Structure 1
Amino acid sequence: MLTPTQLVAVEALNAAANRAARHGRVSFAPSFVRSPSADAPPPLARLIRGGRGGEVRLKIYLCLVMMATAEPFDVKNPPTPATWCRRLGLPSDSGPRRVTSNIKWLAANGFIELGPRRGYAPPSIQLLSLEEKGEAFERASLKGRYVGIPIEFWRNGWIITLSPTAIALLFALMESQGGYSEPRYVPKPRRAAYGFSHNTWTEARKELEEHKFLTVSRTPQGSDFDYQRLRNSYWIEEARFMDKPGSSLRSYEDGMDWPQDLSIRIPS
C-alpha cells in the first residue's frame, strides 16, 4: 500500500501527466537502455550510479521525458525544488538540495541543458540527444524501435515505489522481450550491454519479483544435438503497470480488458 507521502506524490504525478496530456506509452530509445559497446555504459546505467543521488536524478529525468511531449522537447516552466519533492515523495528539509544538485548533474553530464534563470524561477530545461552530443532531443517512437513504458508507471506511482535499480532492470527486460510472446533468456553479452553489476541484477530481480512484475523460469538452451543447459528466462508482466503498488496481480484470465498496445513491440 502507498504511504500518505506517496499518495500525495501520485496526485502530483497525475497532475503532471494531465498537463502533458499523456496517454498510452512514453518512448525511450534502445540506446538509452543498452549500450552498443561494453566499453561504455548506457545512459540508464550511468543514471543509477551514485547511491541516493542516482535515485533522484533517474526519477527526475524519467519525469522530464514524460513531461516534454512535443518539439523542442523542453520544459519552459519546470517544477520548483519543493514541487519535485512532492512529486517524488522526498523530504521537505533535505529534498530541495538533492533535487537542485541532481538537476545540475543532469546538465553537467549532457542529459539536459538549463536555460537562463528568470528572477527566482527555476531555469528552463531542454532535453538533449543522448546519442549525438549537443544535438536536439528526438522522440524515440519516431526513429524506429523503442522501449515503450506505459504512462501508468507514473500515474500509479510505480516510479516512486520501485528502487532505481529495479526501475533500470524493468526497462532492460522490457527492451529484451520487445516483440516476443514468451520468456526470454538474456545472453551474457546482452546483459553486459545493460551495464549492471551482478549484485545490481540479482537484487533488482528479487524486488521486481516481490512486486509481481517479473516471472523467472528455467528453460533449456541449445539444440537437441548440443548439451542443453537450463538457464533463467525472464518475463515482465506488463499488465502489472495497470495495478496499484501493493495490490494483488490481476490477469487476463480475470476477464480484464487490457489496452491493446500492451503487447506491441518491434523485435531486435
Structure 2
Amino acid sequence: MLALPPDTGPRRVNSNLKWLNDNGFIKLEPRRGNTPSIKLISTEDPDGPYVRASEQGRYVGMPMEFWSQGWIVHLSATGIALLFVLLEALGGYTEPRYIPSERRSSYGLSHNTWTKARKELEHNGFLLVKRTPQGSDFDYQRLRNSYWVDEDRFFDPPGALIPPASPLYQPPSQ
C-alpha cells in the first residue's frame, strides 16, 4: 500500500521506526519471534499515557478529497506542511486572519520555507493572502499579511481552473 519496493521497503520502514524510537516519538517493545509492538509516546508527558489529539481538544483534519483528488501527490512536502499549519492557525475562521510572528515561529518553519510554500499554495488556488492594517487607531498601523485557506479547493483535481465563484478567482487580464 505504500508502494515501497520489496527489496528495500522493509529496510526503509525499519530505519524510520528506529528513528522515531530514538527520537522519543514511539517506543518499540520487542516481541519474541515477531515484529516489535509500537507504543505511541505522549509529547507533553513522555512517561504518561498517549492521548489522542481529538481527546485533547484541538486537532486538524483534512478532507478525504485531499487524498482522493491527488493533492497529497501534487503538493510538495513544504506546501502540505504550511497547509496544515494554516488550517490549525486559522481555526475555522471564514475571513483572512493575521498570524502573529510568535505564532508563526512556534510551528518551526523558516521564513524561506513559509514563503516558498505560500507561493505554491497561492498558485494552486488554496491560499488567499491579503495585506491588512494591524494596530489600533492610536498606534502606528502596519500592513501585514492575512491568510485564508479556500477549503472548497480540495474538491477540485490538481490543475483544475479556479472557479469564478471562488474568492481566489482572478479573471484573465486583457
TM-score (norm 2): 0.78
Alignment-mate amino acid for residue 137 of structure 2: D
Alignment RMSD: 2.7
Distance in 2 of aligned mates of 1:91 and 1:216:
41
Any stretches of 5+ residues in structure 1 without a counterpart?
1-82, 255-268
The higher relative CO (CA closer than 8 Å, separation ≥ 6) is in 1
Q: After the TM superposition, which residues 1-268 of structure 1 pair with which residues of structure 2 at under 5 Å, given as runs?
A: 83-84=1-2, 86=3, 96-116=10-30, 119=33, 122-249=35-162, 253=165
Higher share in helix: 1
**Deviation (angstroms), 1:187:** 1.1
Higher share in strand: 2
**Paired position in structure 2 for 1:257:** none
Distance in 1 of aligned mates of 2:115 and 2:91:
21
> CA-to-partner distance for each residue in 1:199-224, whole Å, 9 max, x for gaps?
11111112212222111111111223
Confirm or deny: 8 A CA contact 2:69 2:157 kept in the other structure. Answer: yes
Confirm or deny: 8 A CA contact 1:243 1:250 kept in the other structure. Answer: no
**Paired position in structure 2 for 1:42:** none
Structure with larger Rg: 2
154-163 or 205-214: bigger deviation: 154-163
Alignment-mate amino acid for residue 161 of structure 2: S
TM-score (norm 1): 0.53
Any stretches of 5+ residues in structure 2 without a counterpart?
167-174
Confirm or deny: 8 A CA contact 1:239 1:250 kept in the other structure. Answer: no
Q: Secondary structure at the residue paired with 1:247?
A: coil
After superposition, the Cα gap between the structure-2 partners of 1:125 and 1:91, relative to the gap in structure 1 and judged at 3 Å, is same
After superposition, the Cα gap between the structure-2 partners of 1:185 and 1:247, relative to the gap in structure 1 and judged at 3 Å, is same
After superposition, the Cα gap between the structure-2 partners of 1:234 and 1:107, relative to the gap in structure 1 and judged at 3 Å, is same
After superposition, the Cα gap between the structure-2 partners of 1:138 and 1:250, relative to the gap in structure 1 and judged at 3 Å, is farther
Distance in 1 of aligned mates of 2:37 and 2:161:
40
Distance in 2 of aligned mates of 1:125 and 1:236:
35
How many pairs does the alignment contain? Answer: 166
Confirm or deny: 8 A CA contact 2:60 2:84 kept in the other structure. Answer: yes
**Deviation (angstroms), 1:182:** 0.9
After superposition, the Cα gap between the structure-2 partners of 1:195 and 1:124, relative to the gap in structure 1 and judged at 3 Å, is same
The share of aligned pairs that are identical, in percent, is 63
After superposition, the Cα gap between the structure-2 partners of 1:220 and 1:127, relative to the gap in structure 1 and judged at 3 Å, is same
After superposition, the Cα gap between the structure-2 partners of 1:111 and 1:250, relative to the gap in structure 1 and judged at 3 Å, is farther
